[in-house]
Structure 1
Amino acid sequence: MTKALSRRAFLARSSLIGCSVAASPLLTPMSFAAAPWDTRLVVIILRGAMDGLDVVRPYGAPEYAELRGALGGEAPDLDGFFALHPALNRLMPLWAKGQLGFVHAVSTPYRDKRSHFDGQDLLEAGTDALNGSRDGWLNRMLGEVGGIESRTAFAIGHGEMKVLNGPAPVADWSPDANLVLSPQALRLAQMVMQDDPAFHAALNEALMLSDMDEQPGPLSVTVDEDEPMAPPPTPPSKAHLKVAEFTADQLRGDTRIASFSINGWDTHNNQSRAIQPALGRLADTILALQAGVGEAVWQKTAVVAMTEFGRTAQLNGTGGTDHGTGGAMIMAGGAIRGGRVYGDWPGLGEASLFERRDLMPTQDVRAPAAWILRGMAGLDQATLERVVFPGLQMGGDPGLLL
């Protein structure tokens, strides 16, 4: 049987007249039409299962030191019960301003098997079971709002962002997307497209989205005629900053939604060291978004970071944690009512743990996401519970937005 090729995978492999475009608007012409709302939403998928008990530490629970004492660290206090991982200390000014918050003891409806692939599929589908859904909850939300153009929402990065899969138009971009055209090929493209305004505009946009630092204009490319080559890929340690910079650029304009991933959360061994790089990338990304969009747009922005499941309450024999259940959601932005840890805390006593090993989830992680969508895009609760997040019971409004 031939395996279906996803739209994003197809775009990532496409080539035209000697160019390679990881997110090709030559195939999906984009519009700069404004969206029907003015707030901005950034959804970050933390792939690998972030340990919420380490990131937002319940040091006030008497069992925590026994379960996690080896992790240690000078964690800045949040509210007298929870403390923040030291690697996120740079985010404390946001906490003080009420622009950083958390929802603890949350999880998707996924239970027991603890597979990264299934957990991420369910998180991005936004459904209550693994039912083969091919569209993501952000795409369904876009379909319900209406008036959407492809540039309203961006799926960013090399990997597929299933949360934005679906029939609603969405633009794609990769940090190392490049158009590499010789002058002859560029001239040929101009001649072919000169009588078709739509294709001519699409070529201009393809050049704009391409990663060419020395590009002097929308239809001019500086290359070596004898050996046209793409710039080297962005070093992995800096790729997240490039993603944040591009995201901020779009959010300052007509884009209203962006989604991308941050990897590196699977900390089975030596977690006290293994989690540090991922936390550093997360802090970098949030602060780069804040600086990049500017104060006015930041006040209208919500950043939501979600992960497929949490990790075990107790350290394993190698100083790491294994796949668990309950975890934490991270929120940032001027639109967030931060400065607090939301959620119903279940406790860490053995009898309170899920299967006596994991943090017990007391809330569906889709519920806070749904309340944020309701506040930002104005969708009614019935639509959110039936269409965007099928099977969800949102419960009462937790007041996550200002």
Structure 2
Amino acid sequence: MLCENLNPTRRAFLGASGAMFTWAFMPKFAHAAQGRDPRFITIILRGALDGLTAVPPIGDPDYESLRQTDGIPFGGENSVLALDGFFALHPSMPNFQRMFQARQAAVVHACATPYRERSHFDGQDVLESGYTVPGHVESGWLNRLLEGLPAGERIAPGPSEPVRGLSVGSTAPLVIRGKAPVLGWAPSILRQADGDLAPRLADLYGKTDPLLLQLLKEGVETGRIAAGLDMKAKGGAGDPDGMEQMARGAARLLAQTDGPRVAALAFEGWDTHAQETQRLAKQLTGLDDALLAFQQELGPAWADTAIVVATEFGRTARINGTEGTDHGTATTAFLAGGAIRGGRVITDWPGLKDKQLFEGRDLAATTDLRAVIKGVAVDLLGADAVHLAEAVFPGSQGVTPMKGLIT
């Protein structure tokens, strides 16, 4: 199968790089669900994660024969990590396993968006826009969610407090693009500026352009909080070091008392047509380290945090001739955070026999990813179910918010 070139400029025109020209911090939610001060983070895995390798159903009698030359060893020093007996976890994710055991992480298996074709671009459009069909790239579901959150003290910000979300990376993911303004930040890949640059610019703008001076101050503060004095990106959004640093910087901003409360990140490089065993081990290490970075940097705010990790679709149940997998259907979503009622693999398992596979080749989808996101939005943020069905995920009136995901 010919794989499309994943070019982020097709779907994102709002740059989120650097912090020199950014918005101010966002006011915290005063009236979120259960009176808590929540953080909601969405991580998009672009390229289609193989959920059958990330969370292998080792209790299914048909799994090992499908993956006997691919994947995850069933013994030895690289053995899978335990979850619930039927499902295991890829050995590259020990931090997630620890969170799972502490009941602060969960897996949703055999899930998918409404999309049933196998184009990366179209699948990502559906995943991030929230519409049932591709082509809607004007705004993303997370931005529209921000627009409809309950009004209350400091929730409906005025002109001096415009920011309601955080976009992390060199370009803003479609999922967080829209009318609600966002703060943009990305780890620096440039040489560190001279220490006197910011003061000299401040002195210049203070005399000529007060508005630009304010934006400069906000940008410098954003960079200082997110990156620290010595943090510089070692890789991009498809590199394990880059994933960890993006998460660490985002968490530092989210942890601030007057910082943003909703964030979106996109990690690249999950298209494993060949040599999947080696490539996916590297990518899952990056994701696992990113989740740990959020836990470490958020501190006490971790208790009220929910992270949703999702991808555009899954991969074929069988391996191909290059020791990889091709574009498929259902996959795995990860949930993490102190607000998650974890320690569970949530699924209506469809089975892996030939007659149970979707179109005879893919893991069948039995859970709608929109139900998962809706459930988190309602119980963590106090989102309105009608707004979710009509505006956030248009046409999803028949998809009920999943209950019991939040503690």
Same fold (TM over 0.5): yes
Gaps of 5+ in 1: 13-21, 216-230
Equivalent position of 1:174 in the other structure = 186
1:389 matched residue in structure 2: 393
- CA distances 1:61-92 after superposition (whole Å, capped 9, x unpaired): 11111111221321122112111111113322
Partner of 2:383: 379
**Do the aligned partners of 1:35 and 1:152 also contact (CA within 8 Å) in 2?**
no
> Do the aligned partners of residues 99 and 358 (structure 1) sit closer, same or farther apart at CA in structure 2, a change above 3 Å counting?
same
What does residue 72 of structure 1 align with?
Answer: 72
Q: Would you say the 8 A contact 2:329–2:363 is kept in 1?
A: yes
| TM-score (structure 1 length as normaliser) | 0.85
Cα distance between partner residues in 1 of 2:351 and 2:195: 63
- 2:19 corresponds to 1:30: no
Aligned to 1:234: 234
Whether the 8 Å contact between 1:42 and 1:259 is mirrored in structure 2 is: yes
Structure 1 Cα separation of the partners of residues 195 and 406 of structure 2: 50
The corresponding residue for 2:204 is: 191
Aligned partners of 1:88, 1:328: CA distance in 2, in Å? 14
Q: Which amino acid aligns with 1:34?
A: K
Contact 1:156–1:243 at 8 Å: present in 2 too? yes
Residue 220 (structure 1) aligns with: none
Match of 1:362 in 2: 366
- CA 1:139–1:214 in 2, change beyond 3 Å: closer, same or farther? closer
Contact 2:374–2:401 (CA under 8 A) maintained in structure 1 = no
Does the 8 Å contact 1:153/1:256 carry over to 2? yes
1:178-205 CA-to-partner distances (Å, cap 9, x unmatched) read 6847958853553333476543321111
- 1:26-52, Cα deviation, whole Å (9 max, x unpaired): 3x4314533344110111001110011
2:174 corresponds to which letter in structure 1? Answer: K
Query: What is the total number of aligned residue pairs between the two structures?
Result: 371
Deviation at 1:360, TM superposition (A): 0.5
Unaligned regions of 5+ residues in structure 2, if any? Answer: 1-8, 74-78
Q: 1:108 aligns with which of 94, 106, 113?
A: 113
Question: Counterpart in 2 of 1:45?
Answer: 44
| Contact 2:248-2:297 at 8 Å conserved across structures | yes
1:400 to partner: Cα distance:
0.8
Native 8 Å contact 1:125 1:133 kept in 2: yes
Checking the alignment, whether the CA contact within 8 Å between 1:29 and 1:198 is kept in structure 2 is no
Q: How does 1:201-216 map to 2 (within 5 A)?
A: 201-210=214-223
Aligned partners of 1:24, 1:291: CA distance in 2, in Å?
23
Q: Is the contact made by 2:81 and 2:90 (CA closer than 8 Å) also made in structure 1?
A: yes
1:292 equivalent to 2:305? Answer no
Alpha-carbon contact 1:29-1:202 (below 8 Å) kept: yes
The residue aligned with 2:262 is 257
Post-superposition offset of 1:9? 4.0
Q: Which secondary structure does the structure 2 equivalent of 1:86 belong to?
A: coil
* Distance 1:276-1:159 versus aligned 2 partners, 3 A rule: farther
Amino acid at match of 2:342: G
- Name the residue aligned to 2:90: 85
* Counterpart-to-counterpart distance in 1, 2:20 and 2:14: 12
Secondary structure at the residue paired with 1:44?
strand
For 2:95 and 2:401, the matched residues in 1 are separated by: 32
Provide the alpha-carbon RMSD of the alignment.
2.6
Distance 1:10 1:255 in 2: 18
For residues 385 and 334 of structure 2, what CA distance do their matches in structure 1 show?
22
Distance apart, 1:177 and its partner CA: 6.8
Q: Pick the aligned partner of 1:134 from 114, 132, 138.
A: 138
Secondary structure, aligned partner of 1:303 = strand
TM-aligned CA deviation for residue 302 of structure 1 = 0.6
Go from structure 1 to structure 2 and tell me whether the alpha carbon gap of 1:24 and 1:150 turns closer, same or farther (over 3 Å shift). Answer: farther
Contact map agreement 2:137 2:174 (CA 8 A) in 1? no
Q: Secondary structure at the match of 1:299?
A: helix
Partner Cα distance (1:31, 1:377) in 2: 18
Look up the match of 1:143: 147
Contact 1:64 1:348 survives alignment (8 Å): yes
CA contact (8 A) 2:42 2:307 kept: yes
Matching residue of 1:200 = 213
How far apart in 2 are the matches of 1:273 and 1:88?
14
The aligned residue for residue 272 of structure 2 is 267
> Aligned residue for 1:163?
175
Distance 1:395 1:271 in 2: 35
Question: What SS is found at the alignment partner of 2:403?
Answer: coil
Q: Is the 8 A contact 2:275 2:323 kept in 1?
A: yes
Distance 2:311 2:211 in 1: 39
CA pair 10-157 structure 1, distance change in 2 beyond 3 A = closer
- The residue aligned with 2:59 is 60
Indicate the structure (1 or 2) with the bigger Cα radius of gyration. Answer: 1
8 A contact 1:262–1:278 mirrored in 2: no
Q: Distance in 1 between matches of 2:186 and 2:201?
A: 25
Q: Name whichever of 64-73 and 97-106 sits farther off.
A: 64-73
TM-score (ref. length: structure 2)? 0.84
